[in-house]
Structure 1
Amino acid sequence: MTSSRASMAFWPKQMIPPTPENYKELAKDGAERLAAVSLEQIPAIPAGAVIHDNGCGHGSATAVIMASAAPEVAATYKITGTDISGGAVEVYCDRAETQGWPAQGLVMDSDNLKFPDETFTHSIGNALIFVGPRNNGVDATKEMYRTLKPGGTLILNCFAYVPVLEPIREASRVTRTGAILPAWTSFEQWTDPSVIANVVEAGGFKKESIKVEQREMFVNIGDFDRHTELVWSMRGMPSTGWSREDEERWDEALEIVRREMRKTEGFKTLDDGTTVIRNIINVATATK
């Protein structure tokens, strides 16, 4: 969006601003849970592994890798986190220093890695393939293949189901003239496990080495009312932009999101008042 268009944009007064801190609050520990479920699909990472955390963000996958190994094993790892966002890499590096991770962070495009061929024993793209890389993720997968050592392990994941998509669509249909749907559909084409399998194969991995597992992932989203406010603010905006109608019917839309989310399988309110929701993910693993 250009600066002139940004100045003309309408923002409902109830909207929670889309800051990095608020996106982190929305995600809760979802990225860590995604990494943990994905890493369960491969054998334990051995001592001396050279690991690439591709699209590292703030270090969710690295944190899970370090926590999953005995301290004496984890200390032998050599981990490199890369991300196209300089801000994310800065946070990653600060976290690595604070936590004592054997890791470095570098700003790098996943479609054009600057590492030599056959650098890593393990390459993980946690919440990577469906949100950023071009060419449907094939170019990024080719780079992961190139930089893996022979016998090296690839892990990629994507969402097959998230419980908030249909609730925000239903709120859009009911509260918007013309039933304009939200623009957020970044994961939707990845629901079929064959899609990520085909991307990995197109990236250079032999078909017989590729395995895709579909797994459940449960995330505690904390306070349910606050979470739905974040969901509608961050995910509810239509491609045409927010309107005054959205502001006027904001509370109605929130109630629809809450009603529909309560209907989703796996939705549960715990004794402490927090809420757990169920996602389904596709985890692709392959060996070079």
Structure 2
Amino acid sequence: MPHVDALQHAHWRTRGENGPMPVLLPLGSFQENEQRKALEAGGFKAEDISCSETHCFLKIADLQRWAQLAWSYLGTLPDGWSQDDENKWDEAIADIVEQLESGDGISKNGDGDTVLRMVASVAIAKK
């Protein structure tokens, strides 16, 4: 999902790459190949797994405001916000906006709104 990449980028830019990732910004992938691996590791046979994708689109009129809301909810670390996080708040928001203006799966509609393409991979497994 394009917003996850943008928020992870802001995390690394403002906090470095050695600290813990916010709980709600997992590094793991939820794409079909990862789902299949997990299901097979859980005992499902490859031939008993079917996957499909569905797409939805999120229209964002005010990208700055959306970035603030997303970072305030998804950017918090397991032990909460630090003073350094507060000091770098504007830098994190600017980075998220920059990433969302140029990332994959992101476009502008005729009204000038930012549109994020969200892709959900759905797996059904029979045991």
Q: TM-score, normalised by structure 2?
A: 0.74
Task: Tell me, in whole angstroms, the C-alpha distance in 1 between the residues paired with 2:47 and 2:121.
Answer: 17
Q: Does 1:257 align with 2:104?
A: no
Taking every aligned residue pair, what percent have the same amino acid on both sides? 29
1:241 and 2:107 aligned: no
Q: Indicate the structure (1 or 2) with the bigger Cα radius of gyration.
A: 1
Q: Distance in 1 between matches of 2:9 and 2:46?
A: 39
Query: For 2:104 and 2:17, how far apart are their aligned partners in 1?
Result: 29
Counterpart Cα distance in 2 of 1:201 and 1:250: 40
Aligned-pair CA distance for 1:165:
2.3
* Equivalenced residues, count: 126
Q: Which residue of 1 aligns with 2:28?
A: 189
Task: Write the distance in 2 (CA, Å) between the matches of 1:194 and 1:175.
Answer: 31
1:164 aligns with 2:23: no
Runs of 5+ unmatched residues, structure 1: 1-161
Q: Which amino acid aligns with 2:39?
A: V
Q: Report the TM-score when normalising by structure 1.
A: 0.37
Q: Which aligned pairs between 1:44-63 and structure 2 lie closer than 5 A?
A: none
Offset, 1:216: 3.9
Which residue of 29, 39, 44 maps to 1:199?
A: 39
Alignment CA distance shift 1:212-1:201 (3 Å): farther
**1:212 corresponds to 2:51:** yes
Taking CA–CA contacts closer than 8 Å with sequence separation of 6 or more, which of the two structures ends up with the larger relative contact order? 2
Shift in CA distance, 201/241, structure 1 to aligned 2, threshold 3 Å: closer
Instruction: State the partner residue of 1:277.
Output: 116
Contact conserved, 2:7 with 2:96, CA < 8 A, in 1? yes
**1:211 CA drift (Å):** 0.9
